[in-house]
Amino acid sequence: MVRQRLGLSQPGTAGTAASCELTARMVVSCDSRTVAAVMLVPGWRAVTRTTVTAGGAGRQPWDIMRFLKTVAYFNELPSPDKLAKDVSNMFRQLGPQAQVRALALLALADSPVVSLDLPLSADAAAAAPLQVPVNGIIMVTGATGGVGRRVVARLLAAGKHVRALVRDVDKAKAMLSELPVAPGGKLELAAGDVVQRQTLLPEMFERYKFIIRPDANWDGIAYCNSFDTVPGVWQTVRLPFADFFPVFRARRLAPGQPGAKPLDPAAVSSIQIMLSKFEYDGQLNPAFRRGPFRLPFALISSYLAEPVTPRFVHVSSAGVTRPNRPGINVDMEPPAVKLNDALGGILTWKLAGEDALRSSGVPYSILRPTALTEEPGGMPLELDQGDTIKGKISREDVADLCVALLGCPAATDTSFEVKSTVPFSQPWTLDAQRAAPARDWGVTLAGARLRPGVTGRTVDGVYTGRRTEEQALQEAGVTSAQPAATAAV
């Protein structure tokens, strides 16, 4: 059984919701498990490392011959044409690119593999000749050969998770079961042969079409992309909008043909997921197999292209978390804190607005300036978290910072305060002949080391300060009855 979560995407701009991708989330995600395949195949001189990540035309005359061929194909009629296609497809499937794709997906699969209990050696890591800067599953083909066995031994000594692709599992058990493994290491055996593609496919993955239709015409132009799944494994499939291509009646439209234009994500009318014997232009689906199938989805949603920057910059106010904070001396706080209740709970409502944004799922940045002034910009600034600072800041600097935040990934999903280091009692002026000095906001924001999840709120009587709410409550030994104010995006 394959359970999927799908998402669609195009590079987005700040403030737009048009960046949308297709996503399939699984217990084991292609985005979180890196697969490195060490290829030890005769005739392949390079060692290959593969990373798997899993963003109307006029009507045409009906092709009756193509229709008859399709009927014959689906009903398994023993026609010479079908046999020729099968043979051609078989040879086409044996190419190196197809082998690499199959191996990468095989390394993701949880079954069928055999785990070996290896002798644990605390000295293995110290004796490892190489550092291996790769995490996740590392697949080794030819693992029982002279070079392959040594590769497996070195990886296990480095504490790595190795999956060996072998033709004979019993032989591999006898040859590899005594290899010492460092803590964290693991060896699994998967039966298969890289030169016999039928031993890798189609059992190990299935290929589906994802079809987007820009209008209600089911016999019109559609936009297609294909994705592969691994049975029994949760995956995240990301299909960027830019990778979809126009198709009419299962044939790609070449540039210059009527309707051959890029997909407009704003004009998505419907979506369709199809398991088909055919890919495009008459080519066969190399992973198709007859019989029942099942493809559960956890979610189909949009997502933003990486790196994610704030899509919503909110100007709040320093002091929003201070009313009723345990141990605070309100006489030493700005007037808004002391008079919060008399002013109708202005800071309380501002904090509620922040919480609504934090829980919305929209990538955000919440800016909490201290007292705003009409002085020129260019003041030296201090950024902080935990809602403790006091002082002043020019509206000019706040406006510049708002714009800069739209392009700063480091500020995504953060809440922070900002003030100038110029004392409140000291006026800030600039020479009339001299403009405010240019500021590198990227350096300023990176130097602040802002942490997502830090709000400075008081939760269940615990002031969270510069810690995340979860961290502060855990350190205080408190189990919160109210939900956290932050949401992962």
Per domain, the residue ranges of the chain are 4-31+51-76+212-302, 110-199, 312-476
- Please tell me whether residue 396 adopts helix, strand or coil conformation: helix
Pairing status of strand 161-166 against strand 137-141: parallel
The pLDDT assigned to 91 comes to: 43
- In angstroms, how far is the first alpha carbon of the chain from the final one? 28
Which pLDDT tens digits describe the chain residue by residue (489 residues)?
A: 334 445 555 433 333 333 333 333 222 222 222 333 343 333 222 222 322 332 334 445 556 666 666 655 555 555 556 555 554 554 444 455 555 555 555 555 554 677 888 777 766 555 555 566 667 778 787 788 878 888 888 888 888 888 888 888 889 898 898 888 888 888 988 887 766 655 555 455 688 999 999 998 888 999 999 998 877 778 888 898 989 999 999 899 998 898 899 999 888 999 999 998 888 998 888 778 777 888 888 888 877 777 888 988 999 999 999 998 988 888 889 999 989 989 999 999 999 999 999 988 889 999 999 999 999 889 999 999 999 999 999 998 999 999 889 889 999 999 999 999 999 899 998 876 666 677 888 889 988 999 999 999 999 889 999 999 889 888 888 876 554 443 332
Please tell me the predicted confidence (pLDDT) of residue 13.
34
Q: How far apart are CA 272 and CA 275, in angstroms?
A: 10
pLDDT of residue 76: 52
For residues 53 and 33, what is the distance between their CA atoms, to the nearest angstrom?
Answer: 8
- The pLDDT score that the predictor gives to residue 108 is 53
DSSP three-state, residue 270: strand
Residue the block writes with tokens 């030169």:
195
Distance (Å, whole) CA 304 – CA 409? 12
Class of the CATH domain delimited by 312-476: alpha beta
Element (H, E) at 235: strand 235-240
